[in-house]
Structure 1
C-alpha cells in the first residue's frame, strides 16, 4: 500500500512539474507579441509558485514513504538474516569467516536497501518525469522535432546491456574484498593482546594495508566502469540538445513552430536529460545490488545439517539417563575417526568425569549429546531414546552447557548469568552466583550485577569468566549439566567450593565434568579416560587407581606437583 501511495505521489509531482515549460512557452509567446501586461506577469508568476509548491508537497510525500519502506525492508532483512544464521548448524560456521558474515549483514543488506528505496525512488521519479516530458513534447510542441531529437537517447539500452554485467562483476569482487578486510580486522582485534605482547603491531598493520589495497583496487575498477557508463548518458543527452537547437532553430526561422514552443521544448529536453542520468545511476545501483542480492540469496538458501526428523519423539520431560554405544565418530571434514570404541552409561542424578590428554576427544564427546555435531544413528541415547529421534528444542533445553572458554557477552554480569533464563529475577541470579562462588566478587564491583564486562568478558579475569559462565548454567537448572574443563582457571580452594555446590544440586541432575585436574572428578560416580579418541579406562576413582593405568599415572603426577607447590 505504501508503495502505491509513494508512486502515486511521485507521479502527481512529475505531472505538476512538467507544466512549467508549457507555461514559460506561453509567457514567451505573449512577450514576443508585445501583449504582456503586469497582470499577466502576476498570473504567470503565481502559477509557477503554485506548481513549485505542489511539486514539493507530492514529491516529499513520495520520497518519505519510499525511504520509510527501504528502512523497514533493511530491518526485516537483517532480522531474517540473523534468525537464519541461528538455525544453521555449527559445521556451517566452521567453514565461514566472521568477517564475511558481518559483511553480509552490513554492506550487502545496505546495498540492497539502497537499490530498493533510493533506486526505486529515483527510477519511479525518472520514468514518470521522462514519460510526462515526452508526452508534453509530442503533444504541445512538435512531433517531428521530438522524434528527431530523441534518436541519440535510443542508444542508452545498448549501453545498459554492455556495461551491466561488467559493473555487477566488479561490484561482486569489491564486496568479496570487503569481506576479507572485515575478517582480518575482526581477527586482529580479537588477538590484540597477543599482537601487543609479541610486538607484532607492524606485521598486523602491513597485513591490513595489503587487504585495504586490494579493496581500493577493486573499488577503483568498479568506479571506472560506473563512471564510463554514467558519462555516456549525458553525452547522449548533449547530442540530443545539439540536434534540438539545430533543427528547432530551423523550424522557428521557417515559422513552422512558435518561439515559445521552441523555448518550452528546450526546457522539456533539459527535463528529459535529468531522468536519463537518474536512470543510469539507478541501473548502476541495481547492478551493484544484484551482486549483493546474489550473495544474500546463496546465504539464505543454506540449510542446517542437523534438523528434527519428520516425526520426532516429543517428551514431556527429560530425566537425564545417558548412554553411548559408539564404535566410531568422524567429522564430515575429517580424514580419520575422532572417537572410537566409546561405550558407557550413567543414570539420572549421577556424575560422569571425563579425563584425558589434550586432543583426546573429550569435547567432541560431549558435543554429540546436544547434537552440536550429529552422531551416527543408534550411538547416543538420552532416557533410552536415540538423540536423533528427539526434538532438538527439547533435547537442548534439557542441557546446561559451559564450554571451555566460558563465553560471555558484551553485557553486564547479571544479563550474562540470566542469559539462560530470560525472566530470571535478581534473587535467582544471586543464588546462582553464590553456587558458582562469584557472588562476593560481584558485590565488590561498584555497579555489582550491573557491571558491564566488555566484549567476551574482557574486564574479568579468566577465573571470574569461568565462574560467571558456571552461574549461568546453574540458573538454567536443566536435568543435564555439562562442564567442559571450565574449572581450569580457578584455584584449588575455589574449585573445591564449586564442587561442593555441585554436590548440593546434582541430586536431580546428571552432571558431566571434563577436567584436567583429577580433583574435580574424583567424586564422580563414573570416570572415563580417553586416549587418542578411544575409551581406554573407566570406573570410579578408587577402581581406576587400582587398575594402575593412565588415570593412576595422572593422579600420581598431580599429587607430586601438589606436594611440590605446597613446599
Structure 2
C-alpha cells in the first residue's frame, strides 16, 4: 500500500469532488442502460403491428432524451475528474520541487538532472491520466455493465440466457490477475529507461559545445541512440503484453455475442422469448464491448500509473541528509565571529578525509584568505559553513552557536556565498542581481554592479539591466558571469561574505579593483576569500594555506613568504608566470 500513498492522500483530500464526478458518471450509465430496453419494446410493437406514428415519435423522443441526458451527465462527471487530475499534476509538481529544494547537494551528485526531470514530467503525467481518464473509464465501464445486467434481469429476458451469454466475461478477472503484474513490471522498465534517456539528453545538450569542438557528433549520437534503443525495446515488450491483454477482453465480449446469437436466436425461433427481448440482449452485449475495451485500457493505464507511483513515492521518501533539529533556534544578525574547532570531515563513501583537525578563529569585520592546491579542501570548508554538508557536532560555531543547532534559513541568510561557476538564471540581468532582494532600490542594485566592476559592461548592452540572458547566463562571457554573480552576492548584504574563487575568470587589474572595493565597502563584514591566485588574498588580515586537508601555514602575506613554505612556492610560480605572460 505504500506505493499508492501519494495517490491515496490526494484522493482522500478531494473525496467530495471525486464522489461528485463519479456520481454523475453513474447516473449517466443508469440512463444509458434504458436505451436497449426501449429499443426492444419498440421492436415488439413493430413485430406485433401495434406501433403507430404517434408511438414511434414517442419512442424516438425517449431515445433522444436518453442520449442527451447521458451526454450531459457524463460530460459533467468527466470534466470534474479531469479538473481533479490537472490539480493533482499541479500540486504534485509543486510538492516535488519543494522536496528537491530540501535535498542536499550529495543527493544531486548521485542523481542526474535529466533523471529528476523525468519524475516531474513523465511520472506525474502518467499518474494524472490514471486519476482523470482512468477514473472516468473505470466508473463508466463498471457501472454500465452493472446497470445493463440489472436492466436485463428486470426485463423479460430469462436469467439462464443472461448467465450463459455472460459466461466468457467471467474469465476477465483471471486474465487481469495473470497479466496485470507483468504489465506493471514492463511499465516500470519503460519509465526507468525514459529517465535514463532524459538524463542522457540533458547531458548531451549541456555539453554540445564540447562535442562540436572535438568533432564528436557521431559518438554523442551513438551514446544517445543507445538510450533511445533501450526505450524502444522496453516499450515493445510492454506493447506486446498490453496488446495481448487488450485483445483478450474484446474477444471474450465477442464470444458472449456469438452465444447470444446462437442461444437467443434459437429461443426466439422457438417462441421462448420475443424478438424485442432478443434485440435488447444483443444490443446490451454490443454496448458492453466498449466498456470491456475501456477496462483493458484502464488496467494498462493503472499498471503504468502504479509503476510511476512507486517511483514518485520512493523519491518523496528520500530523506534530506541535512535536517533541522526540532528545537533549532534562529541565528540572529548579532555575532558573526566564526569558530572552527578540531574539524575533521570525510565525504560519504570516502575513506580519506577532505579536512583534518582544522582550527580557526575569525573575528567580525576581519578578512580571511584561504589558498591551496586543487583538492586541498578549500571549498569543502565553506560548504560545511553553509551546512551543504553536515560538520561534526560542536566543530563550527557562529556567534557562539553550533551551526547544527540553528535553523538552516537563518544560517544561510547570514552568509552571502559567491561560488566560482557564477551560475545565472535565464532571466534578466536585473532579476539575477536582485535575486535575494526583489524589492531593492534601483540605485542599490547599480551600486552592487559597480562594486563588482560590471556596471559599464551592462550599460553597453542594448537593453541594459533588462537584457535577458540565455540558459545559465550564456549571453555573457565567463568573466562577466562571475562579476554578475558577485553583484548578486553583494546585494544580499549578509554579515558574512564568502568568495569561493569568485574572481578567477577576470584579469588581474579587474581582480585588484574588485578586492579593493570589497575591502572598502564591506570592511564591517566577516569575509572569507578562497583563491588560487595569491594576488586576491595577499591583503587579507590572515591567510591560511591548505594542503591535503591540513592547515600547513597561516599568517599575513609577508609572514607566509618569510616561512618559505607552500605559500611562498605558489607565489613564486605565479609571479614567474605573470612576468612571462
Gaps of 5+ in 2: 1-15
Q: Which residue of 2 aligns with 1:267?
A: 283
Q: Is the 8 A contact 2:343 2:396 kept in 1?
A: no
Task: Identify the residue that residue 174 of structure 1 maps to in structure 2.
Answer: 190
- Give the Cα separation in 1 of the matches to 2:98 and 2:78: 30
Deviates more, 1:249-258 or 1:363-372: 249-258
- Distance in 1, matches of 2:298 and 2:422, equals 48
Would you say 1:470 and 2:498 are equivalent positions? no
Give 2:390's aligned residue: 374
What's 1:223 paired with? 239
Counterpart secondary structure, 1:508: coil
Q: Is 2:101 the counterpart of 1:86?
A: yes
Are 1:241 and 2:274 an aligned pair?
no
How far the C-alpha of 1:312 sits from its partner, in A, is 2.1
Corresponding position of 2:510: 494
Deviates more, 1:274-283 or 1:318-327: 318-327
How do residues 513-528 of structure 1 correspond to structure 2 at under 5 angstroms?
513-528=529-544
Answering whether residue 420 of structure 2 is matched by residue 409 of structure 1, we say no
* Equivalent pair of 2:187/2:238 in contact (CA under 8 Å): yes
Separation (CA, whole Å) in 2 of partners of 1:173 and 1:399: 44
> Corresponding residue for 2:76?
61
Q: Shift of residue 420 of structure 1? A: 1.7
**Which runs of structure 2 are paired with 1:144-543 in the superposition (5 Å)?**
144-543=160-559
For residues 330 and 52 of structure 2, what CA distance do their matches in structure 1 show? 89
Report deviation, 1:424. 2.5
Confirm or deny that 1:8 pairs with 2:29: no
- Cα RMSD, aligned residues only: 1.2
What is the alpha-carbon distance in structure 1 between the residues aligned to residue 443 and residue 276 of structure 2? 84
Aligned to 1:420, what secondary structure does the other structure show? coil
In the alignment, the residues of structure 1 paired with residue 58 and residue 34 of structure 2 have an alpha-carbon distance, to the nearest angstrom, of 14
Task: Show the counterpart of 1:22.
Answer: 37
Shift of 1:221: 0.2
| Distance of 1:281 and 1:563 partners within structure 2 | 74
CA drift at 1:344? 1.6
Structure 2 CA distance for aligned equivalents of residues 93 and 319 of structure 1: 32
Between 276-285 and 74-83, the greater mean CA deviation after superposition: 276-285
Match of 2:54 in 1: 39
- Answering whether residue 571 of structure 2 is matched by residue 546 of structure 1, we say no
Answer yes or no: is the 8 Å Cα contact 2:357–2:550 preserved in 1: yes
User: Offset at 1:15?
Assistant: 1.5
SS of 2:404 mapped into structure 1: coil
- Superposed displacement of residue 556, structure 1: 2.2
Contact 1:111/1:288 (8 A) holds in 2: yes
Residue 254 (structure 1) shift: 1.8
Cα 1:25–1:327, aligned 2, differ >3 Å: closer, same or farther?
A: closer
Secondary structure of residue in 1 paired with 2:425: coil
Comparing 542-551 and 66-75, the one that deviates more: 542-551
Contact 1:528/1:537 (<8 A) preserved: yes
3-state SS in 2 of match to 1:164 = helix
How far is the alpha carbon of 1:327 from its aligned partner?
4.7
1:135 aligns with 2:187: no
Cα 1:318–1:160 shift into 2, 3 Å: farther
Equivalent residue for 2:89, pick from 74, 95, 99: 74
The number of equivalent residue pairs is 565
Give, in angstroms, the shift of residue 318 of structure 1.
Answer: 4.2
Write the distance in 2 (CA, Å) between the matches of 1:181 and 1:417: 34
Measured in 2, the distance between the counterparts of 1:272 and 1:56 equals 17
Partner of residue 3, structure 2: none
SS in 2 for 1:481: strand
CA distance in 1, matches of 2:163, 2:443: 81
Distance 2:142 2:355 in 1: 65
After TM superposition, give the deviation of residue 560 of structure 1 in Å: 2.4
TM-score by length of 2: 0.95
Q: Separation in 1 of the partners of 2:112 and 2:330?
A: 35
Shift of 1:148: 1.0
Moved more, 252-261 or 34-43: 34-43
Structure 2 CA distance for aligned equivalents of residues 272 and 242 of structure 1? 14
3-state DSSP of counterpart to 2:131: helix
With over 3 angstroms needed to count, the CA separation of the structure-2 counterparts of 1:380 and 1:279, relative to structure 1, is: same
**Maintained 8 Å contact 1:409/1:457:** yes
How far off its partner does 1:89 sit?
1.5
Please state whether the residue corresponding to 1:151 is helix, strand or coil. helix
Check conservation: 2:335, 2:400, Cα contact below 8 A: no
Q: CA offsets, 1:511-542, max 9 Å, x none?
A: 11111111111111110001111110001111
Residue 313 (structure 1) shift: 3.3
Shift of 1:330: 0.6
CA deviations on 1:436-458 (whole Å, 9 max, x unpaired) are: 11111111111111211111111
Quote the offset at 1:128 in angstroms.
1.5
Q: TM-score, normalised by structure 1?
A: 0.98
